[in-house]
Structure formats: C-alpha cells, structure tokens
Amino acid sequence: MSAGSPALSVLDLVPVRSDQATGDAVAASIALARTADQLGYRRYWLAEHHNMPAVAATNPPVLIGLVAGATSTIRVGSGGVMLPNHAPLVVAEQFALLEAAFPGRIDLGIGRAPGSDPVTSYALRHGAGGVSDEAVTRFPEYVDNVLAMMEPDGVGLQVQGRTYPLRATPSARSVPQIWLLGSSDYSARLAAEKGMPYVFAHHFSGSGTADALALYRQGFRPSPELAEPRTFLTVNAVVAETEEEAARLALPQLQAMLALRTGQELRPQRLVEESEKVELPPAHLDLVEQMAARWVIGAPDRARARIEELAATYQVDEVMVHPVAGAWTGTEPGSSPAREETLRLLAGL
C-alpha cells in the first residue's frame, strides 16, 4: 500500500471447504495468520458462528489462543464473541487469561447477534440456564459486567448483605482492548454512549455503514479508555494476479452467501471448479452481482485502490480484510494459498 494508506487487518471465519476436515480448516487459518503476522497486518480477528457446515469458527477464545501462540506481533481477537450466548464472567475469564498469556496483543470484540440459527441459539442459551430474550435485553448490562470484571480490582457482588469481590483473574496487569460490533444502529448508539471503539459489519450487510458510523461519531461520549471515536471498516476481498482469476476465486464464497441469504441448504464451501459448474437461476444472478460489487475483487493495483477509496469514503485509517478466495481442486487440504495470496498482494508483496 502507498504512503498514507490505511492499516490492514484480517477477519477470519475459518471456512471449511468440501475437501477439508475441521482440522484442515484450522491448520489453514493458522497458516493464514502467520502470513498476516509476517506481512505486518495490524490485527487478526476470529468470528463466532455455530452449526454451519462451512464455518469452523465456533469458539473464538480457543482459536485466539491457537493463533496468538503461532504468531509473534499481530494483535489477535474476536470478531466477535456473541455475548448473549455466554455468561459474562466466563467471557471475562477467558479474555483476561488470554491477555495475561499474550499481554498487549488481545482484542475482545463483542456482538449482540446470535451467530447461529434459532434452534442452535436455544441450545446455547437455554442449555446453560440462560433465557434468550433476557440475555439480549440485558446486553448493555452484560457489557458493563465484562468490562468491570476484567479490571484488576474486579467488581463487588452484593449477596445477602455482604460484598464479595469478583475478578476475572487473580492478578491482572493489563486488560484486552474491548470493541462493540454490530450491523444495526443499536450497537452504534451503545458504543457511542459508553465511549467504546465500534465496528460496523460492512463485509456482511454492505449497506447502512455510513449512517451507523455517523450515529456513532455524532453521539460519542469520551470515556477514561477512549477520548474520541475509533472505528475501522470490514470488507470481503479476493485479490489475484488477474481480474479473471480473482473473479473465479470469488465464486465459492459468493454462492455460499447466496445460499445463506435465500434460505438454501448450507454446505461446505465448494472448490472453484465445483462452483463453475453451478447454474444459478436468473432470479439469483442480480443478487450475486450486487454482492460482488460491494466486495474488493480484482488484480492488485485495482484492489489496493479500492481499499484506499473505501477508507477515504468512510473516513477510517484501518481496513479489516475478510479474505474469501476459494481453492482449486488438488489444493493441500491444510492450506488456503489463494487467501494467503490475497493478503500478500494487498500488502504489495
């Protein structure tokens, strides 16, 4: 990237292809994280999704530990932990421990969405004794609890007239950087009210980004942790040596997103050659073209220019790339070379 270009980061859902087992997908993501680390990317975030055949990112804290242990300087975090699925103390304990093991390198991105279908959400929340609607309603309170419990002093819990100290870890020296994530106005307003960093899911929704960021910036109240608004942009990207190759490599993820948006059966991500044999109904072609138009798909110079254009449009100094390039038949299952190539080409290497 040129001087003055935005910093680059990575979002990873740990995709599972039709030629991979879960272990292969995890190995490919660890290799991708090492590549990002070596190229000087700023941060590497891992998502939380459940019961999806094409996504192995079911447990961000476990993946963060694996990735942080396999890298040296890049910040590693969640993009994000879906807080209503978990007890706040458990999340605080997990990330306090990660921060203790990798001080100054851990981010905790928190979201309110389920990250799954309604049945799986029920199993996650009710199976642990929680109530789904209550967990969502009390989301602001849960965010406050996580923030407080990770501080060295913890919080005081009132029980039968006595105050019990509650700490996420016995002897914290630092705390993770905590972000609110969202795809609606709700999280933008909440992050502004609490003086927290905020990220809008531009890579997923593709619309409403400007309005959400404007709400966040206009309503921001400085906090002890953050004096002014802080945000960045997320974008799906496929970069290859030629425009034609990039377009072919984008097909598997475009078809996977089409299936998600149109209620079709979800399955492991197809290989490129498998995707090219799929004949989409005419009614779906426009939707695929609309999605592709919002992504960064192309040769290096054009892709880097598009990244810089998006950063200028949304007034951000960091862009988090979700590398969604597919794989060719015969690719080593524990690798994702086209995803790694996307990162290299965007970095100008």
Angle between helices 337-346 and 22-39 (to 10 degrees): 20
Residue 125 has pLDDT above 70, yes or no: no
Residue 301 has pLDDT above 50, yes or no: yes
Contacts of 64 (CB under 8 A, 6+ apart): 46, 76, 77, 78, 98, 106
Output the average pLDDT for the chain: 92
Dist. CA 168–CA 152, nearest whole Å: 8
Beta strands in 154-193 (DSSP E): 155-159, 162-166, 177-182
Question: What is the reported pLDDT for 257?
Answer: 94
Q: In this structure, what token pair is assigned to residue 187?
A: 């999280």
Residues 268-292 have pLDDT tens digits of 999 999 999 999 999 899 999 999 9
At 121, the pLDDT band (50, 70, 90 cuts) reads: confident
Question: What is the reported pLDDT for 1?
Answer: 63
Residue 185 has pLDDT above 80, yes or no: yes
Percentage of the chain lying above the pLDDT 90 cut? 78
Q: What integer is the mean pLDDT of 80-95?
A: 93
Residues 28-69 have pLDDT tens digits of 999 999 999 999 999 999 999 999 999 999 999 999 999 999
Residue 131 has pLDDT above 60, yes or no: no
Q: In this structure, what token pair is assigned to residue 261?
A: 């948006």
Question: What is the reported pLDDT for 122?
Answer: 72
Dist. CA 200–CA 145, nearest whole Å: 22
Residue 154 has pLDDT above 90, yes or no: no
Question: What is the reported pLDDT for 128?
Answer: 47
Residue 132 has pLDDT above 80, yes or no: no
Kind plus residue range of the DSSP H or E element containing 91:
helix 88-101
Residues 19-29 have pLDDT tens digits of 999 999 999 99
> Could you tell me the pTM of the whole model?
0.94
Contacts of 339 (CB under 8 A, 6+ apart): 28, 32, 323, 324, 325
Question: What is the reported pLDDT for 129?
Answer: 45
- Please indicate whether residue 118 or residue 31 has the higher confidence score (pLDDT): 31
Kindly list the structural domains of the chain, giving each domain's residue range(s) and its CATH number in brackets, ordered by start.
7-346 (3.20.20.30)
Q: What integer is the mean pLDDT of 169-185?
A: 93
Question: What is the reported pLDDT for 159?
Answer: 80
Indicate the range of 78-82, 151-155, 181-185, 203-207 predicted with least confidence: 203-207
Look up residue 131 and give its DSSP letter. -
Specify whether the CB–CB gap between 52 and 81 falls below 8 A: no
